[in-house]
């Protein structure tokens, strides 16, 4: 450009004037008839014209020099502007060769600027996307599309990768001729990482890195659509870890988290790449199996085989830091295909099957049975009825006598009954477990406690009944309430009952969790005069160390042992052991479910002298119990 600027540029009109002048001069010289004066005049005109031409050339040269300097300044300023940009800016010709670039582009790709100039743009694209990038660049150059924007993965000189947002625009020279492309690249690696993290938070469990409920549901919808087309079954397996809460409470949440991570890894190893393992939360996992057989019986066999594999794998020892740990799963399975219900209903089916596995003893697999839904619907109706029954006072207490050797009644156990307006007397075996699971056992248990205390207060006003005690069963839910002690004392205060005539019966299941809290509550009530019996002893969690710490007054031999005490040597041995244990701990002992004289005789010989059962009386309404007690 500088070389061009130094060439003299003569305007066309000046050139034409000079040409005419020389033509005229030639004519004058050729005309021998011209006189010398005219020749001299012509020479003077020629000198003037030549001087004018030289001045014009000087002026034009000076102007062009200034113009070139201005252009150079402008180009330098443009480059400086480009170099201060936070994005990479570059030009490529129609062959894709980079003809201009700013300093930011050199920094972004970690190349010296002079190495970027002359290289092909597509060389900067990551190899995995290079061919695609080249095709798109040529397509843009050949099309009428003015611009394009896309995210592209690039490769730096040092081999590292980064994400860039490319904006490419075709450009032309002032005469409208295509020159190539202008490109702008912004480094969006941080944004891509943030998007990836958001994606991870939205669709993956943070502890195990497994798909979460949202991603599971999305894949399940796709699998159901695929099942409609192919006719193949899929399956959902809901997996719940048995006694996980106990592990968490005894070893801490950190150990529980380690267990969940290992469970996740083992589950992934049990299934195919096309299947999905997800974590719903807590200790619940879901395995979705796809492309099973189109025959239901074969699909169930496939699910069972994978379920058995999962059971075997999850039964292996876990090593959590320096501790060895065992954990077992309960698995509920349900199949789905084109006739399958909604996604939420599928999960409910698997959940029902899982609880069926729990009821079967845990550490097993059970399939969903449509009959289960009938049971569930009935339970839901009963739960509604329970709430209504509490509100409308449909419950009442019956009292079963507790007697000693000579037949004297020393007290009674209060047993709740539900007088349903349509169904009649509902068995406690039907509604007590439901009350436990729904939380209704809390208001129901408080009603039982207050009603029994009121009965004690009434008997206290009758000399012949004043010495009777009442035993009230207390559920684990009640005893774990922070204000349980206050609730009991409030019931005693409200009714005016003698606390020394009230006995609370606890079950062994209470001794699994938070034993110290239970002991403290028992001692607080014991200080007020209340007594305690351990109900169903020998059927659950037994620990002699806990028995020694509990302020008990009595052990109760469960009716399941009493029933076969004459025919089953094991039951007989258990009954004798309970009596011996009670005596060694200076505790009383009572046997429930005594129905024959032979059973009574065996128990008496074993050292048990207090009884309860149909041999003496069935549970009676309060009025009948009073008549029965006064008649003896």
Question: What pairing do the DSSP bridges indicate for beta strands 610-612 and 409-420?
Answer: unpaired
CB atoms within 10 A of CB 241: 21
Distance CA 585, CA 127 (A): 81
> How high is the pLDDT of residue 4?
39
**Does pTM surpass 0.75?**
no
* Pick from 592, 527, 521, 524: nearest CA to 555: 592
Spatial distance between the Cα atoms of 476 and 566, rounded to a whole number of angstroms: 32
Q: Give Cα 464 to chain centroid, integer Å.
A: 63
Residues 536/566, Cβ–Cβ less than 8 Å: no
- Mean pLDDT, the chain, whole residue set: 86
Structure tokens at 211: 């798909």
In tens, the pLDDT along 156-193 reads: 999 999 999 999 888 876 666 667 888 999 999 988 88
User: Is pLDDT above 50 for 5?
Assistant: no
Segment 480-492 shows an average pLDDT of 95
Contacts 24+ apart (CB under 8 A), 615-619: 616/401, 616/403, 616/407, 617/400, 617/401, 618/400, 619/398, 619/399, 619/400, 619/413, 619/415, 619/417
- Looking at residues 541-562, what average pLDDT do you find? 81
Tell the CATH topology of 85-193. Beta-Lactamase (3.30.450)
590-613 mean pLDDT: 95
Q: How confident is the model at residue 312 (pLDDT cuts 50, 70, 90)?
A: very high
Could you tell me which of 457, 452, 432 has the C-alpha nearest to residue 442? 432
Residue 614 has pLDDT above 70, yes or no: yes
Task: Judge whether residue 379 has pLDDT over 80.
Answer: no
CATH of region 385-631: 3.20.20.450
Structure tokens at 452: 């029994």
What sign for the dihedral angle of Cα 253, 258, 261, 267? Answer: negative
Between 449 and 132, the more confident residue is 449
Residue 38: what pLDDT?
60
What are the distances in angstroms from CA 400 to CA 339, 462, 626, 629? 53, 19, 11, 11
Q: Which CATH number fits domain 204-368: 3.40.50.720, 1.10.3720.10, 1.10.287.1080, 3.30.70.270?
A: 3.30.70.270
- First-residue to last-residue Cα distance in the chain: 131
- Between these two residues, 580 and 138, which has the higher pLDDT value? 580
pLDDT of amino acid 17 = 55
The separation between CA 355 and the C-alpha centre of its own chain, rounded to angstroms, equals: 21
223 vs 236: CA distance, rounded Å: 11
Residue-range domain boundaries for the chain: 2-82, 85-193, 204-368, 385-631
Q: What is the mean pLDDT of residues 502-518?
A: 81
Mean pLDDT of 469-480: 92
Q: What is the DSSP string of 352-369?
A: HHHHHHHHTTSSSEEE--
Question: Where is pLDDT greater, at 317 or 199?
Answer: 317
Residue 321 three-state SS: coil
Q: Which residues pair with 395 in a beta bridge?
A: 418
DSSP category for residue 87: S
Per-residue pLDDT band for 74 (boundaries 50, 70, 90) equals: low
**Which run of H or of E encompasses 425?**
strand 424-426
The percentage of residues in the chain with a pLDDT greater than 70, rounded to a whole number, is 86
**pLDDT above 80: residue 465:** yes
Weakest mean pLDDT among 535-539, 554-558, 595-599: 535-539
């Amino acid at each position: 450009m500088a070389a061009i600027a130094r060439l003299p540029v003569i305007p066309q009109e000046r050139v034409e004037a000079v040409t005419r002048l020389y033509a005229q001069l030639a004519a004058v010289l050729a005309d021998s008839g011209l006189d010398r004066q005219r020749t001299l005049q012509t020479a003077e005109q020629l000198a003037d014209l030549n001087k004018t031409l030289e001045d014009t050339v000087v002026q034009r040269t000076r102007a062009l020099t200034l113009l070139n300097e201005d252009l150079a300044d402008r180009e330098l300023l443009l480059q400086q502007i480009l170099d201060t940009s936070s994005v990479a800016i570059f030009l490529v010709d129609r062959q894709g060769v980079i003809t201009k670039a700013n300093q930011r582009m050199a920094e972004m790709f970690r190349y010296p600027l002079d190495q970027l100039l002359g290289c092909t743009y597509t060389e900067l694209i990551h190899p995995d996307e290079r061919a695609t990038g080249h095709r798109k660049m040529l397509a843009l150059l050949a099309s009428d599309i003015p611009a394009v924007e896309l995210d592209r993965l690039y490769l730096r000189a040092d081999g590292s990768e980064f994400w860039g947002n490319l904006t490419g625009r075709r450009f032309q020279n002032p005469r409208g001729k295509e020159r190539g492309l202008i490109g702008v690249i912004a480094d969006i690696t941080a944004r891509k990482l943030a998007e990836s993290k958001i994606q991870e938070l939205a669709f993956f469990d943070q502890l195990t890195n497994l798909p979460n409920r949202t991603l599971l549901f999305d894949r399940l919808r796709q699998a159901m659509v695929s099942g409609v087309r192919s006719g193949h079954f899929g399956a959902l397996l809901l997996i719940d870890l048995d006694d996980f809460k106990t592990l968490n409470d005894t070893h801490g949440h950190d150990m529980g988290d380690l267990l969940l991570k290992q469970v996740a890894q083992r589950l992934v190893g049990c299934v195919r790449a096309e299947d999905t393992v997800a974590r719903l939360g807590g200790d619940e996992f879901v395995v979705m199996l796809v492309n099973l057989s189109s025959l239901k019986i074969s699909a169930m066999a496939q699910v069972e085989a994978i379920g058995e594999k999962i059971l075997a794998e999850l039964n292996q020892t876990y090593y959590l830091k320096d501790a060895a740990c065992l954990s077992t799963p309960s698995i509920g399975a349900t199949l789905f295909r084109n006739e399958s219900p909604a996604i939420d209903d599928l999960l409910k089916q698997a959940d029902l099957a899982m609880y069926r596995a729990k009821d079967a003893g845990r550490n097993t697999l059970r399939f969903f049975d449509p009959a289960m839904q009938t049971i569930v619907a009935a339970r839901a109706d009963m739960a509604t009825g329970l709430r209504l029954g509490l509100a409308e006072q449909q419950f009442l207490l019956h009292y079963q006598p507790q007697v000693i050797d000579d037949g004297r009644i020393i007290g009674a156990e209060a047993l709740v009954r539900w007088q349903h307006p349509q169904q009649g007397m509902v068995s406690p075996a039907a509604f007590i477990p439901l009350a436990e699971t729904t939380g209704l056992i809390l208001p129901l248990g408080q009603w039982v406690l207050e009603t029994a205390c009121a009965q004690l207060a009434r008997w206290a006003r009758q000399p012949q009944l004043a010495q009777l005690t009442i035993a009230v069963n207390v559920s684990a839910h009640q005893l774990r309430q922070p204000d349980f002690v206050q609730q009991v004392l409030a019931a005693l205060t409200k009714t005016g009952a003698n606390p020394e005539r009230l006995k609370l019966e606890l079950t062994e299941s209470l001794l699994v969790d938070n034993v110290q809290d239970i002991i403290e509550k028992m001692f607080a009530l014991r200080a007020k005069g209340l007594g305690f019996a351990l109900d169903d002893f020998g059927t659950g969690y037994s620990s002699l160390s806990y028995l020694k710490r509990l302020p008990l007054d009595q052990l109760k031999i469960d009716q399941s042992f009493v029933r076969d005490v004459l025919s089953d040597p094991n039951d007989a041995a258990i009954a004798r052991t309970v009596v011996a244990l009670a005596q060694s701990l200076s505790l009383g002992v009572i046997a429930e479910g005594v129905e024959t004289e032979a059973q009574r005789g065996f128990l008496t010989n074993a050292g048990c002298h207090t009884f309860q059962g149909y041999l003496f009386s069935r549970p009676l309404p309060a009025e009948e119990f009073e008549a029965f007690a006064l008649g003896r």
